[in-house]
A = this chain, B = another copy of it.
Amino acid sequence: MGKKGIQTKGLIQENAYLLFAEKGFAAVTMKDICEVCGLSRGGLYRHYGSTKEIFEEILQGIADMDFDFIKEGIGKEQSARKILNQILEKMQRELLDEENSLSCAIYEYSCHCKNDFMIEMNQRAKQKWTLLLEYGIKNEEFKPVDIESMVDIILYAYQGIRMWEQVIPIDVKTVENVLEKIRKDLVGDYDRV
């Protein structure tokens, strides 16, 4: 594939992303994508054979950008509380930027095209949180919670909000409530960095 081809693929991904964020997965047609990309039918098909294919490449791109700073932080022997705060802040930012969220689309995609993509994503997230909790508890920075339960509730509450905010208006307060409860469950009331 030449330089031009790669460029066009990039263009397609960018425009398709916005479309998926806006309309979900199933409602987006190849025709729609042609239009937002200013590309002809044949032109699009030269690069991708279906919306599924395009979507999967977008997902792959996202997965690759995942937050690796947990591992990094632990490697650098940073404070567990500091890492926790960073994550919670990142989560908050994401939860409040509902606009450009692919949540709907990802969910629809997953329901329709059963595959292991989501399973992997989920496992990765679980692993990271487990790592962090073990690290924090070992260092006596976190309370000795039941790690498994805690990780489960963190992840599903996060995902729950992430998805429902597409459907019902969720105010900042709710997001703060949930994140704050997580923080308290882990570090108690002592402090807040």
Contacts and interface: CB of A to CB of B under 8 A. Distances in A.
Contacts of A155: 160
Q: How large, as a class, is the contact surface on chain A?
A: 35 or more
A92 to B, nearest CB: 14
A122 B168 contact: yes
B24 A146 contact: no
B119 A168 contact: yes
Contacts of A161: 156, 160
A5 to B, nearest CB: 13
A189 to B, nearest CB: 11
B148 A177 contact: yes
A96 interface: no
Interface in A87-116: 104, 107-108, 110-112, 114
Contacts of A153: 153, 157, 177-178, 181-182
A152 to B, nearest CB: 5
A50 interface: no
Interface in A174-188: 174, 177-178, 180-182
A166 interface: yes
Contacts of A118: 164, 167-168
A111 B152 contact: no
A28 B150 CA distance: 37
22 contacts: A104-B107, A108-B111, A111-B167, A114-B167, A118-B167, A119-B168, A122-B164, A122-B168, A148-B173, A149-B178, A149-B180, A150-B181, A152-B157, A152-B174, A152-B181, A156-B161, A156-B164, A156-B178, A159-B160, A159-B163, A160-B161, A163-B163
